[in-house]
A and B are shown apart, each in its own frame.
Chain A
Amino acid sequence: MRLFRLLAVCAAALLAIAPAAAQVVTSPGPDSVSVTIYREPDRSPTAEIDLDWLTGYALVTEKRTVSIPAGRGVIRFEGVAGGILPESAIVTGLPAGVREKNLDADLLAPASLYAHYVGRPVTIRRTLKGKSVEERAIIRSGPGGAAILQTREGFIAASCGPSQDDIIYDSVPEGLTAKPTLSVETDSPRAGKVTLTLSYLAWNFDWQANYVATMRPGGRTADLLAWVTLANGDVTSFAEAETMVVAGKLNREDSERQEGPEGRPLQVTCFPRPLPVQMEMRGRVAPAPMAPPMVESAMAEDIGNIVVTGARMAKQEELGDLKLYRIPDATTVASMSQKQVMMFDRKAVPVDILYRARVSGDEADEVRIALRAQNRKEKGLGLPLPAGKVAIFEPLGERRLLVGEASLADKAVNEEVELEIADATQVAATVEQGEEGRDWADQILTVTNANPHPVRFEAEFQRDDDYRLTRMSKRLGRHNGHDVWAVTVPANGTATLRYRKVDVD
């Protein structure tokens, strides 16, 4: 009976430690969730998604049912994304609104546990050759590099003698949490069950479009398949989530991904010792094993699942000046995974394959093979094309061979799409000098084609303030602000353009 009473007193004492009178309600997880993934703002279309360090982000919107108490109440949200940007959290649906929002990030870690016990009693366990002795002690030094304890015999430095000394704590101090935890305080006139919406931005997501173009025989049309490739590098999975991605570039101010709060290990040092013994001791005096920091431990595992689904197709909507793609039914955006959902599939889109070279005065660059298409309805497309990589395949008998890879910036409807897909090997352009005068020189641009079929070739002249190009032997066109010579080079033949380069003084 006496023991029982002691326990009751003890429980009351423990309760009294909880802050203020506010009642704490924990919401373990969402009832439903929707995830909108945004591309990393500064990743160029050519760059791959870095699955180990995702710096795109997501807007996570969760519906949660919570029983709120009357009066002051604290609602703790568990199961939010680890990469949460707490300042972006919005909570709606509370009858009395939100008094304050808090993110507590004082993590339970060896160093913080030790720090909270400074000046308080702990148990020290000394292990020597497999045998342990325990005794009570009081921590007398801060966590900055030492553990000095007061025992019944005097003051000792932990693990600085022959034994391995471990500190055993009695309980977890109030305020230390396993994960950073978001909570809101509310002051409701009555108790009851409410459904509230929690939304926040979080790092550690990314997405891009991926295009697969398969040339049809004849090389005049291609089948174009577009995928949404999205990745979740967070420790949290979003089960049965309504999933969306947003195309277009958003302004972000904190465009550097921040490391989340980390728990620190406890470093223990000792007084200096003569070298040989210290070497021998090292194994035992080494600092306590590092608490694996949350983010890193998560990233250490490779992104395991790559899921490809083709049956459903993302639906495009307008969102202000951005494009939103909604995956039609709920899907699981699993932690550490990449997922692909089809965006569109267009057959026999007319494309032009041409050879191009940039020409600056008396020099021609490498000739490259380019694919040009018009993003117009009447040309089989007419869709917003979000930035991403394009792989171009060509059938060779039964096989499909990769003929080139390129990347695409965001392209709006009615824009021209031009992709440089490979370096040419059978078509070359050279510039030779002919007659010259005091401030001029005649140039001869020759394009050679070793293919057994004619090819289309375009020379794009680069503008320069130091010279003018005159006396063109052929008529030039204009394209994207450049003078362009467009010509069909016959099979196994050549084409020639003559012009004069005149210096501008």
Chain B
Amino acid sequence: MRLTALILAAVPCAAHAQTAPESAPGEKTAQGDVAVTIYNNDLALIQDKRMLALPAGRTRQEFADVSAAIRPETVTLSAANTAIVEQNFDFDLLTPQKLMDKAVGQSVTLVKTNPETGAETSESARVLANNGGTIVQVGNRIEVLNGSRRVVFGSLPPNLRARPTLSVTLDSSSAGTRPATLNYLSTGFGWKADYVALFDESAGKIDVQGWITLTNTTGTSFANASTLLVAGAPGSGSGSQARYGYNPSRSIPGNRPGTETAPREQFGDFYVYPLKERTTIANAQQKQVGFLDVAAVPAGKAYFYRNGWLSASDEAKSADTVLRFSSSSQGGLGDALPAGTVRVYMRDARGQPQFIGESNIGHTPMGSRLALKTGEAFDVKVQPTVVKRERLGADRWRTTMHYKFTNARAQAVTVEFAQAGLDSWWDDTRIESESLKSERTNADEALWKVAVPANGEAGLDAVFITRF
């Protein structure tokens, strides 16, 4: 009994002891010294330095454990005293159908098991064809295989593989072991930044931590890799934007790109973020590494509401809550910010941080001013109404608007209110009269800064002369 238990326990060990022809995670990988450079647009450059033992003359080398999402056309290999004859990427995968296809004209063994006794009888058969069914010749009988016998193949066709395999035929001028560097691009990698901002409203400060979040969906793990992240999307061509580049909160007033250079390594137009230490990027893993940690940066809160042209509402609508801060080295975060998501937290009455909203940012140079919408204010609302519309001519209208601002907070607030739609193809629109001086921020919009008293309301009247 004891012996049985011991033997059972030993079985998994025995399995590990056997040689594994191809690697599996947890086993030794065929990868060498790996360096991974990850871009924002589902792209990574992988450099893999392996030791190759080459005889003099021509040899074919298979490179196991390359990324399963490799772009094979981008592979380059360099090694001393070695010339490349050809590079092959075999992606013909082994399936029963293909195995049978390749067995046409060859012999297989058919094994029949007696269900009663378990006795097996085998006979040799020649595969004649495999078209919607397998035709075999057994002796001088021609049969269609019907699954009543087990088909045993003598060998596997050489080009069919368990997984796509990169192989390179090399011509070496001398025998010996030497380092070889394999370079290739792979999809399935991506990264973005995630920021944690703790906002202290009464002090007007934020603490910000920045994390680099990288994901590996290549199907391959990279152990002990030296990792570099590039804040950019090379090769995405003109006009297209980085994955997280689109940012609707850009249209919130207060955003302005900066002109300062961050104290980071640059590469062309891109900032690069090297990870301090080598790390293992496992398959299906999402990894986060910190890159920014600043405390007590001045920050402020603002309220913003944009009204569409002739938009009126039967109910008051909440104004946006906007968080403003700077990425400048003077009174700001003091760094260039890679594109990502800023999550904003605030302490509740018991001091526990609570989530109050998030906003995406694009790649942001140092010295920028940021205005991020975190949410909508429960207590600060705007109700626009159309008071009067008068037709002045064929395409001339006078529109009288009234905007009501309400504030249920115990503090006075200022709402930045934009009336949009003033430039619908025509620029000869104007404000005939207004109860508060506006600022024409652009051709399409007029902006008012409306002070609303604590637990009170304020009104704004404006008369517009427009084409519509």
Contact = CB atoms under 8 A, between A and B. Distances in A.
Contacts of A271: 96-97, 99-100, 130, 134, 145, 151
A121 B15 contact: yes
Contacts of A14: 12-13, 16
Interface stretch (B82-90, B368-376, B427-435): B368-376
B94 A146 contact: yes
B389 A465 contact: yes
A34 to B, nearest CB: 7
A106 B96 contact: no
A3 B26 contact: no
B146 A277 contact: yes
Contacts of A504: 391
B133 A272 contact: yes
B437 interface: no
A142 B162 contact: yes
B172 interface: no
Contacts of A98: 290
Interface of B: 3, 6, 9-18, 20-27, 93-97, 99-100, 109, 111, 113, 115, 118, 122, 130, 132-134, 144-156, 161-163, 194, 196, 199, 201, 209, 211, 213, 221, 223-224, 249, 277, 279-280, 282-290, 301, 312-316, 318, 321, 341, 343, 346, 348-349, 352-360, 373-381, 383-387, 389, 391, 397, 402, 406, 408-409, 455
B349 to A, nearest CB: 5
Given A7-B6, A14-B13, A271-B96, A156 B151 contact: yes
B284 A104 contact: yes
Interface string A329-351: 00000000000000000000000
B378 A117 contact: no
B149 A412 contact: no
Contacts of A61: 352-353
Contacts of A175: 25-26, 221, 282-283
Interface string A89-120: 11000000111111111110000000011111
Nearest first, the 8 A-B pairs at minimum CB distance are: A481-B385, A10-B13, A174-B26, A161-B150, A119-B22, A170-B15, A321-B377, A157-B96
A157 B151 CA distance: 8
A249 B375 contact: yes
B356 A250 contact: yes
Given A175-B25, A250-B374, A148 B356 contact: no
A251 B115 contact: no
**Could you say which of B133, B145, B286 has the most chain A C-beta atoms within 10 Å of its C-beta?**
B286
B144 A321 contact: no
Contact of B386 (A153, A160, A161, A481): A481
Given A175-B221, A481-B385, A17 B199 contact: no
Nearest to B359: A251
B133 A170 contact: no
Given A20-B280, A412-B408, 6 more contacts: A17-B27, A106-B25, A116-B26, A271-B145, A323-B378, A324-B348
B408 A413 contact: yes
Given A129-B115, A155-B155, A90 B196 contact: yes
Given A148-B99, A480-B383, A119 B286 contact: no
Contacts of A318: 349
A373 to B, nearest CB: 14
Contacts of A86: 286, 288
A481 B406 CA distance: 15
Given A17-B26, A271-B100, A320 B316 contact: no
A121 B18 contact: yes
B156 A155 contact: yes
A87 B192 CA distance: 10
A272 B288 contact: no
A249 B373 CA distance: 11
A139 to B, nearest CB: 8
A305 interface: no
Interface string A23-38: 0000000000010101
B379 A413 contact: yes
Contacts of A161: 111, 147-151
B149 A162 contact: yes
A262 B279 CA distance: 25
A129 B383 CA distance: 77
Nearest to A246: B354
Contacts of A44: none
Contacts of A261: 284
Given A141-B162, A251-B373, A154 B109 contact: yes
Interface string A476-498: 00001110000000000000000
A106 B149 contact: no
> Which of B149, B355, B358 is most buried by chain A, counting CB atoms within 10 A of its CB?
B355
A480 B387 CA distance: 10
B15 A251 contact: no
A286 B61 CA distance: 38
Given A144-B93, A162-B113, A269-B95, A277 B147 contact: yes
